[in-house]
Structure 1
Amino acid sequence: MSPLAQHRPDTVVIGAGPAGLAVARQLEHRHGVKALVVEKAAAPAISWRTRYDNFRLNTTGFLSHLPGQRIPMTAGRWPTREDMVRYFDCYVRQQHITLQLGCEVTRIDRTEGGWRVATSSGHIRAPAIVLATGNYRTPAIPAWPGLSRFNGELVHSGAFCNAWPFRGRDVLVVGAGNSAADIAVQLANDGARQVWLAVRTPPHLVRRSLGPFPADLFLELFARVPASKVDPVIERVNRLLWGDLSVYGFGRPPLGLKATVEQRGRIPTLADELVAAVRAGRIDVVAAVEAVESDRVLLADGTAVAAEVIVAATGFSVDLDGVVGHLGVLDEHGNPRGGFASHVGDGLFAIGYGIPPSGPLRAIRRSATPLAGQIAAYLNDHEDVDELVHR
């Protein structure tokens, strides 16, 4: 018998990351809706378990919990990877979330009265589906000319654990986000011989805290203020805090901080340790990668670096084409249509795609409750669908 055959859920949630866990909890606790969370990995929150060793939350733990259960105060202001893994495991237990692990979803199709989900463990039908596979499904590496001829080592940030394998080696980190900054700092601190940071679009660099106040608190305060009003103030404050960083290779971002978040979906980089390492000469900021040769990397300004290792902190793709691409529900970026949390249509819902200004965990907490309400209302309005699906 298929391991899925024992379940007759009202809703199948695909993905046991924070978004999937949160919406499943709200469905069960607030609406009495039976939810089954299916996850291809052997444990929930798998992308958090595989983060690099010095990972810390970029938003304060006090404001980054899921519905119904706070992150323990013992985790401090900036919880680590280990803190978050313990929190998610505890969340599953205490919120009594039903999981089917080691179960990869391969395709979703409309069927009479609902949806048919094909998985590696068989198929299951349900009147409602929630896509919650997250932003970190498949590593994305740019197709740099000549990359196949590179004699060195290429590592995506998703596979980077710590700096020990790269002690005494010359490493180029590509990217300017928080992962790139953290990895470059770890390499510089733990024994890489030379560390370069290749930056294409200058990032907004911010401090973790301004005095006693965490930086993400200010994003909350300015949430309803237009970017045209906020960004000039932020630029002046950052100039006072950092001084002129252009001498170290950090150019001026093309848009203000809030405009960058809203228009480009890029959050600022927490850069206290990065800027300190750059100023100390332990990390060199260089131009963007243009091409790769067997023993060096060519940069956009005409220079080159003799990197032995390239760490590509170049993001991920959601990679949903094979699962729902045939349904016409994805936008031009490959994300489910409708924004961070939405009813895509006909009982197909989605949550957790894209990078919200307040950070993903806070947005998940705020979005899971209304989305669960939409799902419950849909099921109430389509009770005949449930009978068709489970007959």
Structure 2
Amino acid sequence: QLTPAAFIHDVMDCFAEAEGKRSHDPLYCNPHSPPATGFPVDNIPVPVVIVGAGPAGLGMAALLGEAGVPYKLLERCSCIGSLWRHRTYDRLCLHLPKQFCELPLMPFPKSFPTYPARDQFLEYLESYARRFNIEPQFRQAVVSAEFNGDFWWIRTKEVTSLPIGGEQDTYSGKTTLYRCKWLVVATGENAEPAVPEIEGTGRFKGQLMHSCEYRSGAGYAGKQVLVVGCGNSGMEVSLDLANHNAITSMVVRGTLHVLPREMLGCSTFGISLWLLRWFPVQAVDRFLLMMARFIMGDTTNIGITRPSLGPMELKGVSGKTPVLDVGTIAKIKSGSINV
């Protein structure tokens, strides 16, 4: 059986052989010629470029390093796991058990709880980087990536200021050009805040923020707060505000699947994975919805209507993940959160 390391080495050998043959082909254009930029740049050849030093980028770097494949890991911030470090609220914990969230070749410490907290997860990422000697190129923002049929040309600029709230980065004049055969984009699906255009926000006199700027409800006791959105972030921000005695309301735009984080003493996610190995997705969805109704009741009664497709089928069709409840539903039922 071919191991991952052997597979990567075989691919790299094929790449080296092909490059050697092409150098003797009179009809083959020179792939080492960088695209015209109009300004001086550093030109760095490397087999693999990874963009993003979050969990996915670190995992890829570790696997490549263990296989002996050179790479460059580019990160626009000054630390690893920047989204977890700078754009998350204080009470954040993993919503899935740690065994489902560990990176390749290194499990979480046994001393960590089933659902590690944000700081514990960051500690794990730092330990992971040290163990596999991962040294990202920090403050390198990728501003363009072009593929000429044989190579990727990755242009970066050095970041001098990186605002948290979604404003534009500021750059120095330092520009670097990387030439690579493989480009791995590991920037994360939630890397940039999405703020909807809402009529009248310019006249709103109160505080307006995205969830990536929210830290804690400690300063909101007795204040009226409207949370727009009811995904995992919206649900948990609403819960945190209610726990700090804010007058909390939450806007639910469409249909939504909410499942308890655990069923029968086990992770809902783990149960779902096990069931999907043996049963059709529709049968698994029927079981999940039956258990959710038994544990949480009919969510329609609290203003949350479920989609016609089941949670797992909807995930497969649209990519929309069901919300895992960590206490918000109980707060809605008690009247602490208005939907």
TM-score by length of 2: 0.78
Q: Which range moved further: 87-96 or 161-170?
A: 161-170
1:169-318 alignment, distance < 5 Å: 169-192=223-246, 194-224=247-277, 225-285=279-339
Match of 2:78 among 13, 36, 42: 42
- 1:161 matches 2:215: yes
Structure 2 CA distance for partners of 1:197 and 1:112, relative to 1, 3 Å = closer
CA contact (8 A) 2:44 2:177 kept: no
**Cα deviation, residue 75, structure 1:** 1.8
**Cα deviation, residue 146, structure 1:** 2.6
**Cα deviation, residue 127, structure 1:** 2.2
CA contact (8 A) 1:176 1:202 kept: no
| Residue number in structure 2 paired with 1:17 | 54
CA contact (8 A) 1:109 1:116 kept: yes
Distance in 2 between residues matched to 1:201 and 1:112, nearest whole Å = 43
**Cα deviation, residue 97, structure 1:** 1.5
- 1:65 matches 2:102: yes
| Residue number in structure 1 paired with 2:17 | none
Q: Give unmatched runs, 5+ long, in structure 1.
A: 286-391
* Counterpart amino acid of residue 337 in structure 2: I
| Residue number in structure 2 paired with 1:142 | 196
**Cα deviation, residue 6, structure 1:** 9.7
**Cα deviation, residue 229, structure 1:** 2.0
**Cα deviation, residue 247, structure 1:** 2.3
* Counterpart amino acid of residue 148 in structure 1: G
- 1:133 matches 2:187: yes
| Residue number in structure 1 paired with 2:121 | 84
Q: Give unmatched runs, 5+ long, in structure 2.
A: 1-40, 159-175
Distance in 2 between residues matched to 1:230 and 1:211, nearest whole Å = 15
Deviations 1:118-163 (A, max 9, x none): 1114222222211111112211112223333322221111111111
**Cα deviation, residue 275, structure 1:** 1.2
Structure 2 CA distance for partners of 1:48 and 1:249, relative to 1, 3 Å = same
Q: Report which structure shows greater RCO (CA 8 Å, sep ≥6).
A: 1
Stretches of 4+ moved more than 3 A in 1? 4-8
Q: Secondary structure at the match of 1:154?
A: coil
CA contact (8 A) 1:13 1:38 kept: yes
Deviations 1:235-255 (A, max 9, x none): 222221122232222223332
* Counterpart amino acid of residue 256 in structure 1: G
Q: Which range moved further: 201-210 or 78-87?
A: 201-210
Deviations 1:33-59 (A, max 9, x none): 101100000001111112101101011
| Residue number in structure 2 paired with 1:384 | none
CA RMSD in angstroms, aligned pairs only: 1.9
Distance in 1 between residues matched to 2:74 and 2:276, nearest whole Å = 34
* Counterpart amino acid of residue 159 in structure 1: E
Q: Secondary structure at the match of 1:49?
A: helix
Q: Secondary structure at the match of 1:151?
A: coil
Structure 2 CA distance for partners of 1:172 and 1:20, relative to 1, 3 Å = same
| Residue number in structure 2 paired with 1:313 | none
Distance in 1 between residues matched to 2:276 and 2:79, nearest whole Å = 35
**Cα deviation, residue 111, structure 1:** 4.7
CA contact (8 A) 2:43 2:178 kept: no
Structure 2 CA distance for partners of 1:125 and 1:252, relative to 1, 3 Å = closer
**Cα deviation, residue 87, structure 1:** 0.6
Q: Secondary structure at the match of 2:276?
A: coil
The percentage of counterpart residues that share the same residue type is 29
